[in-house]
Each structure stands twice: as C-alpha cells, then as structure tokens.
Chain A
Amino acid sequence: MIETAKVHKHAVVIGGGLLGLEAANGLKLRGMDVTVVHLGPWLLERQLDEVAGKMLQKSLEDKGLKFLLQKQTEMLVKGESGRVAAVRFKDGMTIPADLVVMAAGIRPNYALAEKSGIYCNRGIVVNDTMQTYDPKVYAVGECVTHRGIAYGLVAPLFEQAKVAANHLAGYGIGRYTGSVTSTKLKVTGIDLFSAGDFMGGEGTEEILLNDPYGGVYKKLVIKDNKLVGGVMYGDTADGPWYFQLLKDGRDIHDIRDSLIFGQSLVGDVGHAGNSKAAAMADSAEVCGCNGVTKGTIVKAIKEKGLFTLDEVKKHTKAASSCGSCAGLVEQILASTIGGAYTPAASDSKPMCGCTEHSHAKVRKLINDEHLTSKEAVFAELGWTTPNGCEKCRPAINYYLISTWPHEAKDDAQSRFINERAHANIQKDGTYSVVPRMWGGLTTPAELRAIADAAEKYKVPTVKVTGGQRIDLLGIKKEDLPGIWADLNAAGMVSGHAYGKSIRTVKTCVGAEHCRFGTQLAMDMGVKLEKMLFDMYAPHKVKLAVSGCPRNCAEAGIKDVGVIGVDSGYELYVGGNGFLQLYRLEGWYLERTCHWLERVGLDYVKGKIVEDEDGRKALYAALRKALKDAKDPWATSREAEAIKQFIPIKLEA
C-alpha cells in the first residue's frame, strides 16, 4: 500500500470500521486522495451513535478524507493497464480508484467446527455453559456466537473461559449470560468510548452534552435511575468511571445533576478515584506509599499482560499498602488495556484468591445460616485453601463477631498483629503504646504515670498524636504487659490506636471554657467515647465534637462529626444506629466514607433518619454488642494470653 501510495492518486477504502479509518488516514497522510465507502448509516455504527459518528466523520473530513455512506459496492472496474481503475456502486455511481482497500470487518473462523458438522450461524453456536450443539465439544472466544452475539474482545473471552473451565471441572455452577462490553478507541488521534446500551430507546432516558464546536460529545443512557450505556467523543477520561457505575448498577439519582460532567465534579470521596489517569506523565508518582510511577505500572501491565487490579498490586506493589490510589491504578489499567478491561461489579468481586465469593455474599451467609466459626464459613462456601489467607481471615473473623456478638468466638490468630498485641507494630518490630485519654482529657496524675512508664521502659520517642493523646514509641513486645500494668494501675486503659475499631473522639474545649462555645463539647466527647469503648468495625472509626460552628475539633472530616450550635447539634454524618449500620453492612477495610459512597447517603438516611424503629433496634444492638466490654490491656495480661508476648529462651 505504501509503495502504491507513492505513484498513484486515488484510493478507495471499503468499510468505515476502525481498521478502514486507520488505513484511510494513513493513505491520506501519504498524499493520496482517499474516499471511504461505508454501507452503514454512519461510521463505526456498532461503537458510536449517530451524533458521535457524524462528529467523527466531520473531523476526518476536515483532515481531507471523503466519505460515501450507505453505498453498496457493485464491482471494481478494470482499467487499460490491467489494474483497477474505478469502483462502481449499485446505484450506478462510479468513482476513480487506483488502489482499493477492503476493510469490511473480521469474520470468525469456524471452518473446522462447520466441517465437523457442528451447528454454526455466523460463528459456532454455544449455550450458556459454552457447549456447542455437540455437548462434548466446548467453544469460547471470537469464534462463537452466544445468544446471537459474537464478541471480538478479550474480556468476554475470560468470562466464557471461566464458565467453560468450571463446567469441565465438574463444578457445573457457572453460567455465561453475555457480557456488557465497553470500547475505547483512538481513531487517528480522536478519543472515543462507548459501553452498554448506548443507543437507548423505549423506557430509557438520555443525558446529553453536545459541544460540536469544541469537539466534545457525551451521551449517557439511563433506565430506572441506573446507567445502562453511554457514548463519548473527544473527552473520554471518565469512561472507566461510567463503566464501573454501569457494572455496579448503582442508583445514580443523587448524582444525576452533575453525572454528565464526570467524576471530578461529582466529587471523589477520600481519594478513591481520579480521572486524570490518561493525562498523567509516565514519571508521575501514583503510589506514594511504595514510590511507583505511572510508567512502571503501564510497563508491567504491557510486559506481563496484567488484566486486574490485584495483578497490578502484586507485580508493582502500587495500591498494595494504604490502597488510597487503587482507583487511580484501576484507571491506568483501564486506559492501558482499553476494552479488555472489565471491572467486576463491586458487589461481586471475590474477597481474595481463596474464594469466588464476595464480601456481600459471605456476610449474608454468616447472617442467614447463623454461622459462628471460620471453619463453618470455609466449609459452607467451599474455600479453596485450608484456612484462608491474610486477607479473608481477618474479614471473616470481623463478620462473625459483629454479626453474632457474645456468641461467635473471637479468633486471635485471624487478627492482624496489632489487634493481637494491642499495640502498633513499627518498622523495626517494636511497638507503640497509646493509652486512652477520653475526649482528649487527661490529668497531672496520668501524665506523671505516662512519664514514669516512659522512663522505666526507656521509651525513645514520646509524641502527641492527631487524636489528642500521647504515643509511646519503640517498646519491645515483651515489655508490653509490664507497661500496660503500670498504665492500668494509674487508671488508664487501651486507646485502641492499633485497631479497626473506635479510635478517638476529638473535642474542642467547648462551652466548658470557650467564650464562643454553645455546647459542652468535652462532656459529649467523653460520653461518646465511653459508650463506644472497644467497638470493632470494618475499619478505624474516628469521631469529633466541636462546641460551635468554628469547628476547632475538625468534626467535618471525621467518620462521625458533631458540631454544637445554639439550638442543639449538627451531625456530619451520624445519629443513633449509624455506626451499627456501618458495622453490619460495611465491608471489611471499607471506611465509612467509601461505604457511604457505595450505598448512597439516601439509603443511610432511610435507615436512620426516617425509620425510627429501625434506628432504635440498631442502637439497642450496638449497646448489646458492647456490653461487658473489657480493657484488652488488662485481659491480655492474664495467664494464657500473656504467653504470646514472652519469647522462649534457649541456652547457648
């Protein structure tokens, strides 16, 4: 083609699909006069709607390409030299052509199956378990037609292969019911994205953003308050985010106003996401914990053929520590592998490599089947490992003890070391100890006891924490029971600075002292902290109480914030029963902000603000779960528990 382009003038490309357009653009750049002939009503009609297709055509026309749509080729006309001279169409029109490129699409290669007598119809026809008409023969991939659809992408192939493998292995539980796919294309430098049912139709609503002059077009198709499809032209940064909303089936009515403007305007809670992935430089640091740049991630994805967030985490360590960049890493993944990326719906992501089941499923089963031990969960759900892993065990232990308090037995060996040692492990293997200071209040006697303990155990660093208490760092594990005994003797208890649990209730001095105070912030903070003592949760929980709207306790950025005003209190978010709802419905390691984002504030309002009986029941359940809470520092000093702190010494 390149040789021909040097000496001939007229090129005709038959087929206005992705390959045809790329070929046409290439020939145009090499100086040919190019006409694209397309049978469909607009370009890329399987990936774009009419508006986006027309925009694409317009911008390609601006580059000098010519288009003939809805034209059916009749024949190629031979010239005097023996090579092609023209293309004639069914309507009689003829255009000159020195070069004809046929890019009329791919066709599945199912010759082998057809020859063997297996039924084919534009592909090997398979059922939901990937069996062909001969049940002994399975087929997956681009060669098959499933429910009348042949997929040309890799992601549906993975889903099909999983079902086929399950079936072959005798676990006949999986069914393939079709894939919702997304396409991310770059046609001669123009970004395009589409997913799901982007054409819409009866029963659907559309949100449109159309800026033909600026070259941006977005269409979102909504059905029953859920996103079911979308197409984007020019600005596709939010494509993966929309696709995730679509897969999750998230109710979008609360973000509908700004949905079309993308994720950054909806607001990303925490830093779960960021739609700048595609625009980031390769040298930009993505994972601040492990110093992983975008370039490193992209390289690993390409070279190692990674397809999932978990694989990227394992190979690059990005998002494997605090996880706050997971959303960004996911977007880099999506923008690197394009249509091959299919995020699982958040609800159905497997908990870990030990199981297919999601957090939602495991939680439900523990509740419905009244399971009270990890062994029962593993047996009931067919865990593939003998006793789980470091990811699922802590989660299951939490689900068991939060669902069946006082009944399910807490399993120490399923807890991360911090919750076994009731102290925070540090990089050198020593621990830090934080005694509780209710509401951030302390006394000279407590401070004296802390100072004495710090000297007695040669604590190298003493630091005031962000949660208004004092951290003693650099303590040897075998010294923990001793320092606890000293602190207990002075009336202090564990601050749970180490737990997926209630941490602190931060307060300002409130109406007790402050000339601006409207409510007793310290008093309320102490009461809240005492009420919630030893409360474990899916993740850490921090509260704050401010005595006036100046909000010196920074209550607006806590899991639960209270701001006293002259007429009463403002809650951000919270209320009786709120934390219990989170404890029962949040997934392990999901903080309140991410849980709220997942279920929606309206859902929580419905359960807490609008349902008085439900709220009271939740509150009662929380009180019941926390009754008889004991100080873990005291109980860890009992005969059996103390053993884990004491090393065995061998004689030389």
Chain B
Amino acid sequence: MNWKLICKLEEIPQLGSRVVHWPERGKIAVFRTSDDEVFALHDKCPHKGGPLSQGIVHGKRVTCPLHGWNIGLDDGQAVAPDVGGCKKFEVKVENGLVLIAE
C-alpha cells in the first residue's frame, strides 16, 4: 500500500481534526483522539452532509455540528438509533507523521 503524507501529528489538535483537500477524493476529515489515535472519514455526515470535521470529538466518536448525529471514527457508522455511514480512509502515524493510504 502506498502512503501519502498529510501533516505532523502535532498539527492536529487532540480531540480535534483537520480538513484535507484531496482533489480526486474530495474533503476528508482527519481526527485525533485523546490518546493520539488518528482516523479519517469523508467529511460528510450521512444524515444531511454536515462537515464532520467541525464536530466535537469524544472517545472514538465525532458529533456532527449540524444536527448532533454521532459517528464512529473507527467505522464511519452512525451510532444507534441513527442509521447511515460515511466512507472511511486508512490512516497511520509513523515517526510523528500522519499518513493516508492512496
């Protein structure tokens, strides 16, 4: 698998995110949890397309800023009773750098 450099880990705030513009794949939200795990989702809530990158991150979930749906960071799926999902991207942290699978 080929990996593409996004940024340094420290450039994403803990319990926060950064938006990545990737011409072929659109907007991707890259999240960092409190214990420095990193996840990437298509920046579009399955409910009404809200920008998940702007939500509050807690545990391994993000709350969409538009209508409060909770989305699992590790699977891109809405937390019950809501139903829906958004695309997940493979990301990893190596030597303090965040990489995304091409």
Contact = CB atoms under 8 A, between A and B. Distances in A.
8 contacts: A314-B81, A389-B56, A389-B59, A390-B68, A412-B16, A417-B54, A425-B65, A650-B4
Contacts of B100: 650
A647 B13 contact: no
Contacts of A417: 54-56, 65
Contact of B16 (A320, A386, A644): A644
B50 A647 contact: no
Given A393-B56, A413-B56, A648 B19 contact: yes
Given A425-B66, A644-B13, A385 B24 contact: no
Interface in A473-499: 477
Interface in A120-165: none
A417 B54 CA distance: 6
B3 to A, nearest CB: 12
A429 interface: yes
A385 B54 contact: no
Contacts of A429: 49-51, 54
B21 A648 contact: yes
Given A649-B21, A650-B22, 19 more contacts: A320-B68, A389-B61, A390-B55, A394-B56, A412-B16, A413-B14, A413-B15, A414-B56, A416-B65, A417-B65, A427-B48, A427-B50, A429-B50, A429-B51, A644-B13, A647-B19, A648-B21, A650-B23, A652-B23
A297 interface: no
A385 B33 CA distance: 13
B66 to A, nearest CB: 7
Contacts of B22: 650
A111 B58 CA distance: 49
Contacts, number: 90
A386 B59 contact: yes
Contacts of A648: 6-7, 11, 18-21, 30
Contact of B18 (A321, A647, A652): A647
Nearest to B63: A390
Given A412-B13, A416-B65, A427-B66, A647 B59 contact: no
B58 A390 contact: yes
Contacts of B11: 643, 648
B41 to A, nearest CB: 15
B70 to A, nearest CB: 8
A107 B100 CA distance: 66
B9 interface: no
Given A387-B15, A390-B63, A647-B18, A416 B7 contact: no
A435 to B, nearest CB: 22
Contact of A321 (B16, B35, B54, B67): B67
Interface string B10-47: 01011110111111100100100011000000000000
B67 to A, nearest CB: 7
A413 B13 contact: yes
A417 B58 CA distance: 14
B58 A385 contact: yes
A394 B11 CA distance: 23
Contacts of A652: 23-24
A296 to B, nearest CB: 13
B73 interface: no
B57 interface: yes
A389 B57 CA distance: 8
A650 B6 contact: yes
B13 to A, nearest CB: 6
A19 to B, nearest CB: 36
A406 interface: no
A650 B68 CA distance: 29
A525 interface: no
A81 B70 CA distance: 71
A240 interface: no
B54 A393 contact: no
A315 interface: yes
Nearest to B11: A643
Contacts of B20: 647-650
A32 interface: no
Interface in A380-417: 385-390, 393-394, 412-417
Contacts of B21: 647-650
A421 B58 contact: no
Interface string A631-652: 0000000000001100111111
A508 to B, nearest CB: 36
B7 A388 contact: no
B55 to A, nearest CB: 7
A315 B81 contact: yes
A412 B15 CA distance: 10
Nearest to B18: A648
A651 B21 CA distance: 9
A202 B50 CA distance: 60
B51 to A, nearest CB: 4
A71 B67 CA distance: 62
A388 B19 contact: no
Which of A388, A412, A417 gathers most chain B CB within 10 Å?
A417
A321 B100 CA distance: 35
Nearest to B15: A413
Interface in A600-652: 643-644, 647-652
A477 B65 CA distance: 14
Interface in A509-558: none
B97 to A, nearest CB: 12
Contacts of B14: 413
